[in-house]
Structure 1
Amino acid sequence: MARELTTLVTGGRFYEGPRWHDGQWWVSDFYRRAVYTVTPEGVETHQFDVEEQPSGMGWLPDGSLVVVSMKDRHLLRRGPDGVVEHYADLSAVAGGHLNDMVVDDRGRVYVGNFGFDLMGGDGMATASLARVDPDGTVTVVAEGLNFPNGSVITPDGTTLVVAETTGAGFVAFTIADDGSLVDRRVWGSMGEVPETTDVMEALGAGLPAPDGCTLDAEGHIWFADAIGARVARVAPGGEIAESVPMPEGLGAFACQLGGSDGRTLLICAAPDFFEHNRANAEEAVLLTMRVDVPHAGRP
């Protein structure tokens, strides 16, 4: 069936890390270097600045917000009192900018990184996934990931699924009681990735490039295809169940299910993801789309 896309907000630079929390949307804007809230009616409000570029975010059990600070490879914590402070330093374990993240029900943060300097033109390298415990301890829990990006945790809290943007698929882990990740397996493969260290060659192979993503109650994942200018719903195993193209001239880079009934998909869209194009242009938008199956799990 055809899906209707509605524009909620215009004038951003590059939206990422969308979340639904306490009756409103939360989003990062890379190049305005700030976190914003957006009401269901589209009223955007500046919340706080992240000078080293915000990305993924999530809430701890005490109500604090944790947000990625990409370029210095730190996590920041905004407490219930509104004070923003340093939370964890991941610079020793991240091979590139920090990226998206997810928080489990015990307040453990799982966060990925690029693995290489994407904007600087470095050759591709694999990346690690780190866990940050509530006391701020940083532990590498997985290695050898192909640009770990959007991540989800199943409703029972036992499975972490991570999008691999340059790996054309998703990898899953069982979350052990101590927070370690075991039983690594392919959750869904959408094609065989070419053997290359050239990121544009890899992304130009025509395979899906899953970016930000969100889990639904049937165990499918909606993901933004960073190369395919679409959002798609993928089943466990990798079969695409539904695909919705973006309006002409826009790509999709993150999405999240939310709204009062969990059936609104918020999409972060922009003409491209290149920093030199997006840093000063106010062409990013937030789109919404109604879906049939509601949100599940985290974030």
Structure 2
Amino acid sequence: MNAMRLGWSRGLIELRQSLTNTGDLVNHFFWPVLMLVTLFFLRDVSFGGTTFSLGALALPSILGLNASMSLMTMSQQLTADREDGTLLRAKATPNGMRAYLVGRIVAVSGGLLVDLAIFLIPALLLVPGLAVGSATAWLTLAWVLAIDLVATLPIGAVLGSLFTSARSQGLLTLPVLAVIAISGIFYPITALPEWLQWIAQVFPVYWMGLGMRSALLPDAAVAIEIGESWRHLDTVGVLGAWTVAGLILAPIVLRRMARRESGSSVSLRRERALQRVG
């Protein structure tokens, strides 16, 4: 419990710092503003022969995409903390790794909620045709977002522990972008070949977008989904499977990574970083 309290305090401090730092504020606003510009051009474009605009279809999908990107954020920040010795200092204190992970989860989750608010509030005014007038819609949005964070943050921690430097995180970007491209974020997945649809359904990005669409789109929009169903049970099942996998793997991988951390390994990474800069 002491580690939980310390981690909670640490996470809130980091979140407050990110909201008062110019560079971090730019990062918070850049992606939401970019997506709002995209929605502006899609708001009057209809999908196929339907009456649904691509803007209305894309808005909840983008929310799911932003939520899934917490995986990348978690991975990048953990790798950076490993490279600069933050993890080594956490390892040297009682329950330090637990407090560190709790703090990182609080900070990443809080930052994600800020990003979603920056995007969603103006988007609701920009894009018509959304079903946001009922409590059920917001309740669905809440549980989808909650299970999304539980599913992605442990996997992000696992991926972050596999990289030894922030520069190597670039190896993760291309596969993530490929998964996003086939997950029905900016265009309904039913327009893709069936074999690509099956591949997309293995990964959590598609299910996050589907859950968000089920919350914010009118019931008639289900006609353009696979099987003409929101598939809530399937969404819980797939994201639940990713959650279980992450919760099993993350403690094992992080413990092994922490055991390998030492002052000499941190110094060696700093020397290599200085050589690249030089």
- Structure number with the higher strand fraction is 1
TM-score by length of 2: 0.23
The structure with the larger Rg is: 2
- Structure number with the higher helix fraction is 2
TM-score by length of 1: 0.22
